[in-house]
Amino acid sequence: MAGPVPWHLLPENSSVGSKGQLMIAGCDTLELAAEFGTPVFAYDEEHLRARCREAVAAFGSHATYATKAFLCGAMAKLAHEEGMSLDVATGGELHLALAAGVPADRLVMHGNNKSVAELAMALEAGVGRIVVDAFEELDRIEQLVAGGTTNPNEAPQKVLLRVTPGVEAHTHEFISTGQDDSKFGFTVSTGVAAAAVERAKASESVELVGIHAHIGSQVFRAESFAEAVSVLGAFAQPFGLPELVIGGGLGVAYVEGEEAPTISQWSKIVLDGAAAAGITASIGVEPGRSIAAAAAVTLYTVGVRKDLAGIRTYVAVDGGMSDNPRPVLYGSGYESCLARAVEAPRPLPARVVGKHCESGDLLVRDGHLPDDLALDDILATPVTGAYGHSMGSNYNKVLRPPVVFCRDGDARLVVRRETYDDLLLTDLGF
Ligand SMILES: Cc1ncc(COP(=O)(O)O)c(C=O)c1O
């Protein structure tokens, strides 16, 4: 018999309303569902801001928000207002951040296999840093500069080199990136990374300012970061570069029983590790998930309940893998609860599934819900603020949900729901 949804999985400014319903930052989630429809991503804005501030308190302007976790105009502005730089990994993320008014010099251009067009965009915009992932990217930058494409201040573009430090993060195979067998970066153990440093230093088109590594995502073991810092420190120190960026990857708790270090605890381990290794370079980080994941819940409407005798109960909602592909991609676990009774025990074992034409389309594989779950109930899945909206799709031509920022009892629509006509915008076949 499962108890109520663990309170610490809900956004920081959650409370229980007078009828037992879930409130987020003073907003009644049942009213949010009625006003904006479902599915809807409901964020606690102050939670997002607090996490940004926590990162900035530890790392100053070297705290960089990884926008891939969750990006829209309001989020880009929020992270910038709170003092973070922004990591953009594609031309699309770069375009959005610039459109939101984030100054280019506060942007860090990431990505493996950056195209000539993306590098040209980054140079012309005047991004603060480009993190170079491969020799081919150095070639492309040099060719662009030779052809007259430079950043607005006409100084050599500041770059970091992404290296793989040989640290295997204890996480899902597809999101661990620091081990030698990786598509990312230059390998330290084989000497390729050192050769890349020499190559970048010799280039007149770039100014090499630092070394970068990202060991993986959803990493709970803080020791993995300490290990990465010391390996990186040993590699980077002889080059005397001013910056060392340790990437993102701090894990968050998604389900009952999971616990993750806070950003402050993580930063202490990273900075203590750096000091112990005698690293004099400034240390930067790129948190994404730990900023955004726990700040939001997704609200859905229950459309079908099937009690399959002797097998299980299926609860079908009006979203699915198009708004949260993580369960399908990684087998990720989530909790669920009813918005009208957030403190209710959840004795009913249930699988929460979506509305897509796939048996694998599930949101909560082994969930628990209150017994009296009924049609049209509003179901909430906590910790869906990262890699949900951003990884979403239009599969089955399902409309992408809106995003609402809640603060002091006000609900601000920051991304509207797609319309059926939006689906026709890029289609020339009519
Ligand atoms: C280079 C880089 N930095 C930062 C991040 C953000 O990681 P997380 O959201 O786990 O903090 C990622 C995620 O893939 C990444 O590849």
pLDDT over threshold 50, residue 165: yes
Q: Is the pLDDT of residue 178 over 70?
A: no
Sorted by where each begins, the domain ranges of the chain are 7-44+294-424, 45-292
Residues 6+ positions from 355 with CB-CB distance below 8 Å: 303, 316, 317, 318, 319, 320, 361, 396, 398
pLDDT tens digit sequence for 401-411: 999 999 999 99
pLDDT digits (tens, 9 = 90+) for 368-420: 999 999 999 999 999 999 999 999 999 999 999 999 999 999 999 999 999 99
Both tokens of 399, joined, read 């409309």
Measure the CA–CA gap between 50 and 212, rounded to whole angstroms.
Answer: 26
Tokens linked to 209: 């300012």
- Domain 7-44+294-424: state its class: mainly beta
Q: How confident is the model at residue 174 (pLDDT cuts 50, 70, 90)?
A: very low
The rounded Å distance from CA 133 to ligand 1 centre is 14
Is residue 367 over pLDDT 90? yes
The answer to whether the CB of 395 falls within 8 A of the CB of 51 is no
Atom of ligand 1 nearest to the CA of 212: 1
Specify the DSSP element, H or E, that contains 218: none
Extract the runs of DSSP E, i.e. beta strands, from 142-236. 157-164, 186-187, 206-212
Mutate to test the pocket of ligand 1, among 71, 113, 176, 286 (most ligand atoms within 8 A of CB): 286
Which of 46, 196, 84 shows the shortest CA–CA distance to 135? 196
Confidence of residue 2 (pLDDT cuts 50, 70, 90): confident
pLDDT digits (tens, 9 = 90+) for 183-237: 889 998 899 999 999 999 999 999 999 999 988 888 888 878 877 888 888 899 9
Token pair of 372 as six digits: 């009296």
Residue 173 pLDDT grade (very low, low, confident, very high; cuts 50, 70, 90): very low
Higher pLDDT, 58 or 181: 58
83 close to 55: Cβ distance less than 8 angstroms: no
Supply the residues annotated as catalytic.
357
pLDDT of residue 17 exceeding 80, the answer is yes
Q: Does position 170 have pLDDT exceeding 80, yes or no?
A: no
Q: How far apart are CA 256 and CA 234, in angstroms?
A: 38
Query: Across residues 266-279, what is the average pLDDT?
Result: 90
Strands 27-28 and 378-382 turn out to be unpaired
Mutate to test the pocket of ligand 1, among 214, 224, 387 (most ligand atoms within 8 A of CB): 214
Q: Using a 6 Å CB cutoff, which residues line ligand 1?
A: 66, 68-69, 87, 110, 214, 217, 247-250, 286-290
Verdict on whether the full-model pTM lies above 0.85: yes
**The domain over range 45-292 is classified in CATH as 3.20.20.450:** no
Expressed in angstroms and rounded, the spacing between residue 240 Cα and the centre of ligand 1 is 25
Q: What share of residues in the chain are helix, strand, coil (percent, to 5)? A: 35, 25, 40
Binned at pLDDT 50, 70 and 90, residue 299 comes out as very high
pLDDT in tens, 56-77: 999 999 999 999 999 999 999 9
Residue 425, amino acid: L
Dihedrals phi, psi of 274, to nearest 5 degrees:
-65, -45
Q: What are the beta bridge partners of residue 63? A: 285
Token pair of 198 as six digits: 């020499």
Tell me which amino acid residue 76 is: A
CA of 393 to the centre of ligand 1 (A): 20
Lowest mean pLDDT across 87-101, 141-155, 328-342: 141-155
Provide the pLDDT confidence category of residue 177 given band limits of 50, 70 and 90. Answer: low
Residue nearest to atom 14 of ligand 1 (CA): 217
CA separation for the pair 387, 416 (Å, rounded): 18
Asked if 343 and 21 touch (Cβ cutoff 8 Å), the reply is: no
β-strand pairing of 27-28 with 40-44:
unpaired
Average pLDDT along the chain: 94
Cα–Cα nearest to 182, from 236, 222, 219, 134: 134
Task: For residue 362, give the nearest of 353, 350, 351 by alpha carbon.
Answer: 353
Residue 232 Cα to ligand 1 middle (Å): 17
Name the percent of the chain lying above pLDDT 90: 86
Neighbouring C-beta atoms of residue 228, cutoff 10 Å: 25
